[in-house]
Structure 1
């Protein structure tokens, strides 16, 4: 993979259990150590609008390409700037060569 294609930095996050100010358990997202500021290429694939719950919802589907890693899981999410990208499926190991992964994600904006 040519490094010039990886022109953006992303951070992988996972859910962590915390407690709110009243001591009640809650879940929040936190960066995964060792998976902060990973070089990537982020490309939009599709965008759509739909009417849901009496308001318009915009959904963008993006492809995030990174160097190969074997520790990416669908339950993670990706932070790209102000965007929070939900991983929608297993990462694709391009040509099964262990060089690059393509991760399909969705970003919702209401």
Structure 2
């Protein structure tokens, strides 16, 4: 993989699993140590509009490519600029060569 293609720093995050002052689970995310500012190539794949929960929502599907590593899981999300990308499937080890991972993500913009 050419390093010039990896031109965008991304951060992987996991749910913190905390609780608010009333004991309700929070939706807080925290950066995963060692997975901050990972160089990636972020490329849009598709965009679509759909009607959900009584309003129109726009969803973009993106492919995030990084150098191969074995510690990325689908329960993480990717912070990219001011966007938060939900990982929608297992990372793909391209050609099973342990050189690069392709991660399919979605971003909802309401």
TM range (shorter): over 0.9
Separation in 2, partners of 1:19, 1:73 = 23
Structure 1 length as normaliser, TM-score? 0.95
Task: Give the match for residue 51 of structure 1.
Answer: 51
Note the alpha carbon deviations across 1:33-80, whole angstroms, 9 max, x for none: 110000000000000001112211000000000000000000100000
Separation in 2, partners of 1:73, 1:25 = 25
* Partners of 1:91 and 1:102 within 8 A in 2: yes
* Partners of 1:17 and 1:25 within 8 A in 2: no
Q: Which runs of 5+ in 1 are unaligned?
A: none
Structure 2 length as normaliser, TM-score? 0.95
Task: Figure out how many residues of one structure are paired with residues of the other and give that number.
Answer: 109
Task: Give the match for residue 73 of structure 1.
Answer: 73
Task: Give the match for residue 90 of structure 1.
Answer: 90
Separation in 2, partners of 1:33, 1:2 = 25
Q: Which runs of 5+ in 2 are unaligned?
A: none
Separation in 2, partners of 1:23, 1:36 = 31
Q: Which has the higher strand share?
A: 1
Q: CA deviation at 1:25?
A: 4.3
What pairs with 1:1-110 in structure 2 (closer than 5 Å)? 1-20=1-20, 22-27=21-26, 28-110=28-110
